[in-house]
Amino acid sequence: MLAALAAPAVRAQDFPPPPPPAGIQAAAEARWLGDLAAFARADKEAPPAPEGIVFVGSSSIRLWKHLAADFPGQSVVLNRGFGGSTLADCSLLVRELVLRYKPRQVVVYAGDNDLAAGHAPLKVLTSYVRFSSAIRAELPNTRISFISIKPSPSRAALLSQIRETNDIVAAYLRTQANSDFIDIYTPMLGTDGRPRTELFLPDMLHMTDAGYRIWQSAVAPHLLPPETISARH
C-alpha cells in the first residue's frame, strides 16, 4: 500500500536531486580519505578492466569477503564497500567509487546507516537519486541495482522506517529504465515476520555466511552477463 501511495511522488520528473550543501563534498572526501587511498592503491597494483560490476556501499558490502567468488561467471567484480558509510556518502563520492571504473553495472547497498543517523526515508531516496543521476549523466548505459535495506535485529526500532524506505525506493525504481530493486529484506525474515537472528553475527548488525548466501541468491539473477559488453558498443 505504501509503495502505491508513494509512487506518484517519486517520479524522476517530480523528484530532481537537490545539490548538496556547500562544503559537504570536501568533508566527505576528508572523512573517507583512508578508504579512498586504499582503493587507489589496489587499483594501481591491479588495474581493473572497464565494463565490470562494481559493488559499493556500507560495511555489508565491505565485509562480503568472498564477493567475487560468489559470482564466478563474472570477469570483473570490484568490492568498493567502506564501513560506516551512508548512501549520502556514496552519492558524494560517486566519481571515486563508481565513475572512474566505467562499469556496465553498479550494485549498491546503503541507507541503513542513514536511517540510524536520523535521516528520514525521503532523505535516503534523495541521496539515491543524486547517486544514480550522477551515474546516468556520465554512463547512461550502466545498469544500477539497489539492494534493499536489510532487517538487522540490532535496528529493530527502525524496521518501520526501513520498510518505508524500501517501499519508496522500489516505487521510484519502477519509474526508471535499466534499474533493479533487489529484495533481500523479505527472505531475511522468519515465518513470524521478525529478523532471522541466525543470519547475523553476535552484534546483530553484520551478517554470517548464511546471510550472504541469501544475498548471493537474490543478487545473482540481476547481474548482467559478460556477453552483454559487446552489445553495448
**Which pLDDT score is estimated for 15?**
58
Domain that holds residue 126: 2-14+24-42+49-224
**Which pLDDT score is estimated for 5?**
41
Q: What is the mean pLDDT of residues 116-127?
A: 95
Decide if 8 is inside a domain. yes
Top pLDDT among 49 and 228 is at 49
**Which pLDDT score is estimated for 4?**
41
Residue with cell 527502525: 158
**Which pLDDT score is estimated for 18?**
65
Decide if 183 is inside a domain. yes
Decide if 162 is inside a domain. yes
Q: What is the mean pLDDT of residues 140-164?
A: 97
* Global confidence as pTM: 0.91
pLDDT in tens, 209-225: 999 999 999 999 999 99
Identify the CA nearest to 169 among candidates 140, 152, 146, 199.
146
- Domain of 169, CATH number, reads 3.40.50.1110
Decide if 19 is inside a domain. no
- Which of helix, strand or coil describes residue 153? helix
CA distance 167 to 143: 20
What's the Cα-to-Cα distance from 185 to each of 51, 70, 166, 182, rounded to whole Å? 29, 20, 9, 9
- In degrees rounded to 5, what are phi and psi of residue 169? -70, -45
Domains identified in the chain, total number: 1
CA distance 101 to 86: 20
**Which pLDDT score is estimated for 75?**
86
Tell me the pLDDT of the chain averaged across its residues. Answer: 91
Q: Is the pLDDT of residue 90 over 70?
A: yes
Decide if 231 is inside a domain. no
pLDDT in tens, 2-47: 344 444 445 544 555 667 777 888 899 899 999 999 999 999 999 9
**Which pLDDT score is estimated for 21?**
72
**Which pLDDT score is estimated for 7?**
45
Decide if 105 is inside a domain. yes
**Which pLDDT score is estimated for 23?**
85
Q: Is the pLDDT of residue 57 over 90?
A: yes
Q: What is the mean pLDDT of residues 166-180?
A: 96
**Which pLDDT score is estimated for 25?**
86
Decide if 204 is inside a domain. yes
Decide if 149 is inside a domain. yes
